[in-house]
Amino acid sequence: MLIIGEKLNSAIPSVRQIINDKNAAAVQDLARRQAEAGADYLDLNTAHCDEVADMEWLVRTVQEVTDVPLCIDSTAGEAIKKGLETVKGDKSKVIINSISMEKKRLEEVLPLVLEYQCPVIGLTVDDNGIPKTAEERIKITEGLIETLSRKNYDLSNLYIDPLVLPLAVNHTNAVMFFQCLREIKRLFKVKTVSGLSNISFNMP
């Protein structure tokens, strides 16, 4: 099992502030503490800041104090590209977070996945949004696998995320999520991943 530390995410107001302030010491403290706690990867997200410029700064700042591999987290191809270009060392160890069956995401992110042959997180989302049924999420998974297979991508590097939704949004999602996990492993034999911290978003 891999553990991806999610604390360096600009969706967290306190983290957004230290990124905006270019508070390198605070960023590096969060990076070190996650590494020391056993994180196998550190997720970096600057979507709520000056995304591209701050991704470059964040990658450099984190890599000054730890060699734990990074997970570049963005919906924007430009930010992922900047993160990959900035990473020191073996870029094929970086996880790209994420790709989906959304047209824009495929156009922007898929070429980077193929160029760097990085591990990638595949979200069960398309241009219609997050499906309300397990069957629809399985269908999107199949589409992602077919798309990557056609490009000769190594599917052992694919992690499918069936999406944990916040408890505040849908209290029945857990059953569907576990159903998706079971079926994805049974049907496709690929790895899975989940953002467990999503469940408490917007909760007291």
What is the per-residue pLDDT across 2-14, written as a single tens digit (0 to 9) for each?
Answer: 999 999 999 999 9
Round to whole Å and give the CA distance between 191 and 184.
9
Tokens representing 186 are 């049974």
Q: How confident is the model at residue 204 (pLDDT cuts 50, 70, 90)?
A: confident
Say what the pLDDT of residue 164 is. Answer: 84
* pLDDT at position 203: 64
Closest CA to 111 of 99, 101, 123, 121: 99
The string of pLDDT tens digits covering residues 147-182 is 999 999 999 999 999 998 777 666 778 888 899 999
Cα separations in angstroms, 127 against 60, 68, 70, 149, 164: 33, 34, 28, 21, 18
- Range in 20-24, 47-51, 82-86, 165-169 the model is least confident about: 165-169
Burial 143-165 (b: 16+ CB within 10 A, else e): bbbeebeeeebeeebbbbbbbbb
Residue 185 predicted with pLDDT over 70 = yes
Burial of residue 25, with CB atoms counted within 10 A of its CB: 0-12 exposed, 13-18 middle, 19 or more buried: exposed
Say what the pLDDT of residue 175 is. 85
Computed over every residue of the chain, the mean pLDDT equals 94
- Which residue from 149, 152, 174, 150 is spatially nearest to 163, judged by alpha carbons? 174
Q: What is the pLDDT of residue 168?
A: 65
Please state the rounded mean pLDDT for residues 72-101: 97
Q: Which of 8-22, 103-117, 158-172 has the lowest mean pLDDT?
A: 158-172
State the pLDDT at residue 202.
66
Query: DSSP 3-state assignment of 123?
Result: strand
**pTM reported for the whole predicted model:** 0.94
The tens digit of pLDDT for each residue in 25-71 reads 999 999 999 999 999 999 999 999 999 999 999 999 999 999 999 99
